[in-house]
Structure 1
């Protein structure tokens, strides 16, 4: 029970003392408190006792030598991890210190996302920040420095063409101007990509001196975009000598006691350019009279565990990488090529070891039973998605023709049943098109396009989902520890933001109702016939949390599944390898299964591979951005249609329709009047006119600047804002006329675009 103080003796109450601490941003010194409470000498003597009493109650805690802070307050400076984005795309952070209070922390405008305030930050990154209370009861973080590799080294381009040599950071959001230390510039040529370490400056001010510690390659060479991304994100690209030795010396697996599946015509169906094949499928009508109209489906997966054993050099290296990284011009594999492209790849007409699951479904696609086997298979054919789909659509080629009736049609029959169950299950159905950058052998971008999705893609996806569910169920039944793929429901805060936004469009969202996936699907279907569909789809996407790996099962919200574990891609994901080992142990399939040591480390492994996945996603995104900027650099000055995909306190982000390229229009370029960010409406609104640029609004933009080295696009809006209602305080002052700012769109009354735009940076 809390203790109060007699104000007649102390000069303050308990609540008054707590409020005084709160007024000081949640923390204060004893001197600050005495001044705030206007205490006399005798009263000051009791203040120390009062603070100790509140500390015993855990209402406050010490901070530093002389400071006191509320228990729900955060320190002035802290290490945070970027863990999510809000519905407007701004970065959210959380404290990394164990036991730290939960708090809503948002990065201040431009911090980690642009401007001169610091290096680029993405989800999964850690940073040292300064924390301040914001106006909404949360906390705002200002970047001091990014932690990890980029805190110590910076990737730059060496320039020698203008007098004194200079080092230009490739990160478009870096705040550092660098120059090489005396003699360092001789280590590299003009235009080289170099890894630098900032040296201690003898005096303050001016560019920072730096040592050149490694020459990476040429900034204008083919593949420079990938090299930059890999080094910037610290992705391991080399295998150790011991890994190479083990991969070289490993003997191909033998059939042994494996179940012989070679009589079953399993086929691999992958992208056209796939180099490794880790999954194969087969389906047939169930001949069980008790399951009329049902289907048997087999999913066979490469048995990587037969070659990568716990604790080996190959295992340690795979864990360090966490996953393969797929860039437009290359793949950085998790395993050496002898394994990933040879021994572990389910090559056509070659015997291979596998882990397989035989699943039985009824005619409506609901699973009746399943069992895992450690098998010995021979792929009947290597097919691409395009080949398989074209064959089903009535145009088989020489390879798919003989497979059409015995293999492909049964697969499509089974998929028709699985599709019924999927539609009943109602997983999230959000439009999220994927960009594909086609790069030629000379490193030039041939084109940027949206990846097509066929039923062939959906067939394989649904088969893999069902196999992953079976893996989780089997390991739970065996009472073995495993790493789940977890996707949590949206937070209450994000759901509130979604409801507020929909209210601005006169669309309802019942706040008290459980946010089931089918509710989101109904919302999206309702919005499909409205002009706001793209906007609502974008907001719903940003409302969702990010999936993670965890030994604690919290279900997969997006797929609407109670248990889910990655099993189907052990060549390229370490998570799947741990699940394979657990299945080997559960089925008593050999001595190379999960060990007690590995089982005890699954929590740490899950954290490591989640971070590795975030790292790979950031590198892939950055590389695509750089290649797209290279492609768009040939179109500077041209206009393109696009859509506003983000509105923030520092500008509008536009995605171009044709290429999916993303660029920034800084808020300072929107007009003569000041635009403010309406967080609820997801819009930028003119303070005098009420004119609006809203999320999802179709616009036209002109390319002002495209920087392939940084991946940045600076855009100019040529579409005027939507007419708005002037705020009450601005009525009677007249609407602003003429053009809407330097580099901004011409106004509706014929104003001209003028002035040189300020340099902007893309998220």
Structure 2
């Protein structure tokens, strides 16, 4: 349908967007027409313009026919209270049709604290604050049915009567709910249920059976359901993937790199292989001591064309989500584990980043081509490290066994040129590492938990993943290619989807300063804050067992990275321009960068097929919509990270479920007025130690020091403190743990110390905590409604 021509006086799309963004109240067609002085036919044209802008995704229409910026929140909207965490009340939009997950808003209540309850609906005015939003309640609305994800369990109710309960999958949930209607579900099933009624009369009605989350290799189903992660591909998407996989792969328009010993070095349990590397000493006399390197990345843009069904689904997912028991891929396996996965001995389409590196480790030039590659080997990090170490050992003997090969293991049977290729990669990396050390990026060596499953899907082991030089090597090659992609597009004046990490805010730095003062460590706010400042701080605690807590505090002070077209640099990596280029199989942002490179370097290649769009570049529409795309995929990335973290916690809880009652070594990770949180050494997983179990003394909560101190100074519980705790509960459904002190009496202490509402601070700034009654913001697991 042909769009109507703009009428005289009709505002442009940019003017309408600016007016909506700058207006404090709800904006409808009437307000827009009045602001721009439109009358008669101009109003009709405005209606058509707003429809077009809605169809194009530039604006959304909120309930009540008010417009707001796409992906944002209306100025006034209906919210539903999703969680209450201590003093904080959090809400989400009651209706959300954005591309990413719904935003969480801090509700700024007036008067009595916690007047609102989980599930209640409010009409609120929203306000941007920092990197998020806050909500100012206007009035409470009639409650609608709340949907809860949980597992059905059998237990007793009042009077010992057998009952079915819904145990929520959210560890912040305070209650199990009595089930009034199970539908076709059975005990142990993961379900979606509707809550009706209020208070003790609340009942759960099962509206959807999702499956058995405790079946082998299925615990991730809880996170998939709770976060509504798309995990089933539609028929149209699968058909397009099959069509794309059959595209003929020829050298036409591609650089033939099949003779080079390019290798992929990945985790031993990698599900896909989208990057490979090669390096060799530079023969150019003008670059003595330097290297040439190639970072070859799967050419996903050749198979996933803009505006096709595959592209729409990839954008809806934003990224792949990795769980211990499965991966929810961004692309169907025909592509992600098939033709787009770089496998040894098979011809693959690649986007090649050619780098020239001088003897100081500086990347002096780069170029990008579409290429044809045939990898020599897919090598696990551990095998690459072992092979390189053995090849450089002074005691090695001639022959293939001396360089790490094992004839009995197919994964270690490589061509003769693999070991020289690894040695060249390490030699070139030594230069890149030198340059990295010179710019001093943020060096937070935080442990990564790894869940190892056996063949039956049971938990064989949970351990901290070892950091090897082979991992750092690949990381530095990928960073070099990512920087080159950003600078190459800047040089072409092409649109760039940057990976942005802004410096810490002053508020977070003030909080960090106050925390460090509890360690008698000064932190000057007036200095220029760079990653090197934090690195020096870390070095100062290198021999201190409190180093993990210091690094966690520094991590909390950082802003969250995001995607967008307006460059603000990458603070953590100490880089001025940075874009994700190296993982287009699993990140939509990287696919956007590949398409921009296709346009900027004119890299279109033959490869047309019926029912597939011909173009593989970015195109004008997406180039103009990078801001909107960046907002959506940033939110989807946060959703994936939260889902992955929650699932690891559930596996930890499942692993510990048969160890309840045992004493475990733990470390305090957080302190609140209602108790402290601790994690099991070497395993992770946070659990609460309720203040009710700490003793009969009154306790004081010191917010700056993040500690709970007894009245007479006999006991103090502080972030970072190590202690033995008794594991009282491990709930695989929510991932929640609960601990008590080893000598706590059964049922807790009688006059348990709690922080009362309206508690004042003493002269030292500590919250005084009363002795009477149950704290209003504590509900123990197992509490029933």
Contact 1:178/1:207 (8 A) holds in 2 = no
Q: Supply the distance in 2 between the matched residues of 1:205 and 1:179 (Cα, whole angstroms).
A: 12
The CA deviation at 1:388 is: 0.3
Q: Supply the distance in 2 between the matched residues of 1:539 and 1:594 (Cα, whole angstroms).
A: 40
How many pairs align?
Answer: 623
Contact 1:198/1:209 (8 A) holds in 2 = yes
Contact 2:84/2:118 (8 A) holds in 1 = no
* Residues 1:664 and 2:641 aligned together: no
Report the equivalent of 1:169.
168
Q: 1:582 to 1:140 in 2, by over 3 A?
A: farther
The CA deviation at 1:695 is: 1.4
* Residues 1:393 and 2:407 aligned together: no
* Residues 1:467 and 2:511 aligned together: no
* Structure 1 residue matching 2:238: 3-state secondary structure: helix
Report the equivalent of 2:194.
197
Contact 1:318/1:574 (8 A) holds in 2 = yes
Match of 1:157 among 151, 159, 168: 151
Report the equivalent of 1:23.
none
Which blocks of at least 5 consecutive residues in structure 1 are unaligned? 1-59, 64-94, 101-105, 114-122, 721-727, 732-739, 742-756
Q: Supply the distance in 2 between the matched residues of 1:614 and 1:193 (Cα, whole angstroms).
A: 24
Report the equivalent of 1:485.
499
| Segment drifting more, 579-588 vs 706-715 | 706-715
* Residues 1:188 and 2:185 aligned together: yes
Match of 2:354 among 354, 358, 362: 358
Q: Supply the distance in 2 between the matched residues of 1:334 and 1:605 (Cα, whole angstroms).
A: 15
Report the equivalent of 1:696.
720
* Residues 1:254 and 2:275 aligned together: no
Task: State how 1:618-633 maps to structure 2 within 5 Å.
Answer: 618-633=642-657
Q: Supply the distance in 2 between the matched residues of 1:522 and 1:444 (Cα, whole angstroms).
A: 43
Contact 1:252/1:343 (8 A) holds in 2 = no
| Per-residue Cα deviation, 1:59-88 (whole angstroms, up to 9, x for no partner) | x9999xxxxxxxxxxxxxxxxxxxxxxxxx
* Structure 1 residue matching 2:379: 3-state secondary structure: strand
| Per-residue Cα deviation, 1:298-322 (whole angstroms, up to 9, x for no partner) | 0000000001011100000001110
* Residues 1:238 and 2:236 aligned together: no
Report the equivalent of 2:35.
none
| Per-residue Cα deviation, 1:237-273 (whole angstroms, up to 9, x for no partner) | 1001100111122223422211111111110111111
Contact 2:88/2:106 (8 A) holds in 1 = no
Contact 1:427/1:560 (8 A) holds in 2 = yes
Task: State how 1:156-555 maps to structure 2 within 5 Å.
Answer: 156-159=150-153, 162=156, 163-175=162-174, 177-181=176-180, 184-199=181-196, 201=197, 205-250=199-244, 251-255=246-250, 256-394=252-390, 396-398=404-406, 399-400=413-414, 402-555=416-569
Report the equivalent of 2:18.
none
Q: 1:401 to 1:261 in 2, by over 3 A?
A: closer
Contact 2:279/2:294 (8 A) holds in 1 = yes
Q: Supply the distance in 2 between the matched residues of 1:258 and 1:334 (Cα, whole angstroms).
A: 26
Q: Supply the distance in 2 between the matched residues of 1:205 and 1:237 (Cα, whole angstroms).
A: 35
* Structure 1 residue matching 2:549: 3-state secondary structure: helix
TM-score (norm 1): 0.76
Task: State how 1:17-166 maps to structure 2 within 5 Å.
Answer: 96-97=73-74, 109=86, 111=88, 126-127=103-104, 130-132=107-109, 144-145=118-119, 152-159=146-153, 162=156, 163-166=162-165
The CA deviation at 1:758 is: 8.5
* Structure 1 residue matching 2:646: 3-state secondary structure: helix
Report the equivalent of 1:606.
630
Match of 2:780 among 732, 755, 759: 759
Task: State how 1:585-734 maps to structure 2 within 5 Å.
Answer: 585-590=599-604, 591-689=615-713, 691-718=715-742
* Structure 1 residue matching 2:219: 3-state secondary structure: helix
The CA deviation at 1:534 is: 2.6
Match of 2:584 among 550, 570, 584: 570
| Per-residue Cα deviation, 1:260-307 (whole angstroms, up to 9, x for no partner) | 111111101111111211001000011111111101110000000001
The CA deviation at 1:207 is: 3.8
Deviating 4+ runs (over 4 angstroms): 60-63, 95-100, 110-113, 139-147, 728-731
The CA deviation at 1:648 is: 2.5
The CA deviation at 1:504 is: 2.4
TM-score (norm 2): 0.74
Q: Supply the distance in 1 between the matched residues of 2:102 and 2:672 (Cα, whole angstroms).
A: 21
| Per-residue Cα deviation, 1:503-537 (whole angstroms, up to 9, x for no partner) | 22222211100111111101100111234323222
Q: 1:468 to 1:61 in 2, by over 3 A?
A: closer
Q: Supply the distance in 2 between the matched residues of 1:559 and 1:140 (Cα, whole angstroms).
A: 41
Which blocks of at least 5 consecutive residues in structure 2 are unaligned? 1-22, 27-71, 78-82, 91-99, 122-143, 157-161, 391-402, 407-412, 605-614, 745-760, 765-770, 773-777
* Structure 2 residue matching 1:661: 3-state secondary structure: strand
* Structure 1 residue matching 2:684: 3-state secondary structure: coil
Contact 2:727/2:737 (8 A) holds in 1 = yes
Contact 1:156/1:170 (8 A) holds in 2 = yes
Q: Supply the distance in 2 between the matched residues of 1:346 and 1:144 (Cα, whole angstroms).
A: 48
Q: 1:296 to 1:128 in 2, by over 3 A?
A: closer
Q: Supply the distance in 1 between the matched residues of 2:440 and 2:762 (Cα, whole angstroms).
A: 47
* Structure 1 residue matching 2:220: 3-state secondary structure: helix
| Per-residue Cα deviation, 1:314-351 (whole angstroms, up to 9, x for no partner) | 00000111000100111111100100011111111111
Contact 1:286/1:296 (8 A) holds in 2 = yes
| Segment drifting more, 443-452 vs 161-170 | 161-170
* Structure 2 residue matching 1:442: 3-state secondary structure: coil
Q: Supply the distance in 2 between the matched residues of 1:729 and 1:345 (Cα, whole angstroms).
A: 62
Contact 2:236/2:309 (8 A) holds in 1 = yes
| Per-residue Cα deviation, 1:531-589 (whole angstroms, up to 9, x for no partner) | 43232222111111111111111111100000100000000000000000000000000
Q: Supply the distance in 2 between the matched residues of 1:319 and 1:62 (Cα, whole angstroms).
A: 31
Report the equivalent of 1:68.
none
